[in-house]
């Protein structure tokens, strides 16, 4: 497989454990597939690709890996259910999810790729996956985007200093991968806040102590909404029962104005629907809920929350799977204030719980995980579902397809 100069450097490293932190679109999946194939080329090898979840493993690499192996005429048998490919030389390549890591015990492996390893529970490596390499002196490739100094990935990245014989670490920016033109990275720098840009494109480990939504500034992000009730209303919704939370917005170009909020304790989706209809009965409502609403039932009758919203006449936009928490946080921070100082997320001062959450939610001490014990996460999650869907940092979809066509020609306005 053809490799960029940076990818080739990693591939040629003789270290038993290689750690690669790289910016978005560096070509991490391409390099992972190359390494899986390379370590399975000798007969009788057992090779695993491990993603944070089983679904992510299927989504990220399964189709591309199958196609590559079929092109090479290496495939003897494929098991679509177990995401396993047996090669004609007797080697096996299997895809696994670290979300159920106890089920991965008891095997002996020659090689493992841990993709987006910062999002994998460290116990999955230390308690389960590391022992699988002992019998065969197997090797491992850790690869992904960094996730803060408090994350275990930072510790793994630093193992080179403690054990340079077995460990080697690499850090590459998005541009180093050769997949993304300079003008696109420059545009990303304008769109994202500075810390997010450094982490996601420059692959730096950022400090996550203190406030999660550090880009929020009450002076500049809180401005009274003076417009009329909009024809189209956007609603971010969290399905937690205590409280059910929703943020309501109007959109002017690329700027979201949070004009109202709903926070009801001991409630359910039907009650929130009634509240939204009472306040905005003459508007068309586009709802961006927690993706778990496709399965969750907070109301009687066995009907999912998303079905209730759809039956109420709302346009529901939810991804099939949760976006990583850090992507939602990065999306909100980037809207609150980009690296060039532009603010595309404005909150009316009457939305006191939204403001309170943005100001007060912090990370757990010594961790890059949000503190959820304070209760500030519910309104922030509701906001994050909407912002991340409309303006994702991980741009897998075209946001212009997710909003009414009438908004497509409005000129963006900013304040601050």
Nearest to 160 by CA among 361, 318, 18, 363: 18
pLDDT in tens, 58-75: 999 999 999 999 999 999
- Is residue 348 pLDDT above 90, yes or no? yes
- Is residue 413 pLDDT above 80, yes or no? no
Q: Are residues 238 and 361 in the same domain?
A: yes
CA atoms within 13 A of residue 333's CA, in its CB half-sphere:
22
pLDDT at 53: 93
* Non-local CB neighbours of 146 within 8 Å, separated by 6+ positions: 21, 118, 153, 154, 157, 199, 203, 204, 205, 206
- Is residue 265 pLDDT above 80, yes or no? yes
- Is residue 259 pLDDT above 90, yes or no? yes
Confidence of residue 248 (pLDDT cuts 50, 70, 90): very high
pLDDT in tens, 172-211: 999 999 889 999 999 888 888 888 888 889 998 876 567 8
Helices (H), 120-252: 122-123, 130-132, 152-157, 159-162, 182-191, 194-201, 218-221
Confidence of residue 240 (pLDDT cuts 50, 70, 90): confident
Higher pLDDT, 413 or 258: 258
Q: Are residues 26 and 146 in the same domain?
A: yes
- Is residue 408 pLDDT above 60, yes or no? no
Q: Are residues 242 and 324 in the same domain?
A: yes
Q: Would 201 be classed as within a structural domain?
A: no
Q: Would 381 be classed as within a structural domain?
A: yes
Which of 183, 202, 235 finishes a domain? 183
Q: Are residues 243 and 119 in the same domain?
A: no
Q: Would 199 be classed as within a structural domain?
A: no
Confidence of residue 404 (pLDDT cuts 50, 70, 90): very low
Helix and strand tally (H, E) in the chain?
16, 14
CATH number at residue 48: 3.40.50.300
Residue 128 DSSP code: I
Please answer whether residues 172 and 7 qualify as being in contact, where contact means their C-beta atoms are separated by less than 8 angstroms. no
Percent pLDDT > 90 in the chain is 65
Domain that holds residue 285: 218-409
- Is residue 54 pLDDT above 90, yes or no? yes
Cα distance between residue 404 and residue 416, in whole Å: 27
Token pair for residue 354?
A: 């939204």
Q: Would 415 be classed as within a structural domain?
A: no
**How many residues does the structure list for the chain?**
416
Torsion over CA: 177, 369, 254, 275 (sign): positive
Q: Would 197 be classed as within a structural domain?
A: no
Q: Are residues 33 and 137 in the same domain?
A: yes
Q: Are residues 177 and 269 in the same domain?
A: no
pLDDT at 297: 60
Q: Would 262 be classed as within a structural domain?
A: yes
- Is residue 403 pLDDT above 70, yes or no? no
In Å, how far are 311, 319, 322, 389, 398 from 401, measured between CA atoms?
Answer: 22, 14, 19, 11, 6
Q: Would 209 be classed as within a structural domain?
A: no
User: How many structural domains comprise the chain?
Assistant: 2
Q: Would 48 be classed as within a structural domain?
A: yes
CATH number at residue 271: 3.30.420.280
Higher pLDDT, 102 or 36: 36
Q: Are residues 253 and 130 in the same domain?
A: no
Q: Are residues 276 and 374 in the same domain?
A: yes
Torsion over CA: 164, 166, 168, 169 (sign): negative
pLDDT in tens, 352-384: 999 989 988 988 876 778 888 888 899 999 999
Q: Are residues 128 and 238 in the same domain?
A: no
Q: Are residues 15 and 130 in the same domain?
A: yes
């Amino acid at each position: 497989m053809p490799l960029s100069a940076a990818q080739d450097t990693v591939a040629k490293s003789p270290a038993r454990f290689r750690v690669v932190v790289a910016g978005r679109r560096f070509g991490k999946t391409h390099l992972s597939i190359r390494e899986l194939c390379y370590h399975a080329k000798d007969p009788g090898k057992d090779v695993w690709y491990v993603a944070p979840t089983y679904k992510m493993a299927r989504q990220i690499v399964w189709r591309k890996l199958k196609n590559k192996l079929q092109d090479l005429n290496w495939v003897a048998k494929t098991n679509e259910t177990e995401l396993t490919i047996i090669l004609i030389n007797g080697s096996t390549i299997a895809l696994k999810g670290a979300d159920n890591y106890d089920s991965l015990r008891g095997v002996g492996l020659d090689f493992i790729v841990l993709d987006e390893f910062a999002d994998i529970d460290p116990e999955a490596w230390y308690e389960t996956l590391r022992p699988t390499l002992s019998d065969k002196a197997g090797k491992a490739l850790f690869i992904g985007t960094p996730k803060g100094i408090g994350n275990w990935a930072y510790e793994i990245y630093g193992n080179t200093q403690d054990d340079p014989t077995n460990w080697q670490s690499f850090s590459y920016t998005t541009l180093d991968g050769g997949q993304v033109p300079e003008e696109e990275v420059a545009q990303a720098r304008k769109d994202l806040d500075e810390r997010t840009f450094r982490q996601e494109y420059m692959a730096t480990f950022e400090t996550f102590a203190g406030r999660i939504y550090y880009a929020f500034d009450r002076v500049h992000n809180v401005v009274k909404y003076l417009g009329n009730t909009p024809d189209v209303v956007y609603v971010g919704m969290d399905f937690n029962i205590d409280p059910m939370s929703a943020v309501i917005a109007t959109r002017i170009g690329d700027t979201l104005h949070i004009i109202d909020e709903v926070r009801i304790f001991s409630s359910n989706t039907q009650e929130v629907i009634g509240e939204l209809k009472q306040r905005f009965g003459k508007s068309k409502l586009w709802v961006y809920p927690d993706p778990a609403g496709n399965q969750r039932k907070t109301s009687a009758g066995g009907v999912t929350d998303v079905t209730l919203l759809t039956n109420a006449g709302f346009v529901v936009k939810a991804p099939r799977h949760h976006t990583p928490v850090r992507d939602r946080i990065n999306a909100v921070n980037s809207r609150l204030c980009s690296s060039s100082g532009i603010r595309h997320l404005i909150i009316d001062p009457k939305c006191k719980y939204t403001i309170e959450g943005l100001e007060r939610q912090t990370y757990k001490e010594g961790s890059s995980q949000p503190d959820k014990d304070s209760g500030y996460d519910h309104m922030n999650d509701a906001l994050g579902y909407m912002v991340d869907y409309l303006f994702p940092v991980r741009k897998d979809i075209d946001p212009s397809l997710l909003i009414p066509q009438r908004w497509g020609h409005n000129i963006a306005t900013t304040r601050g």
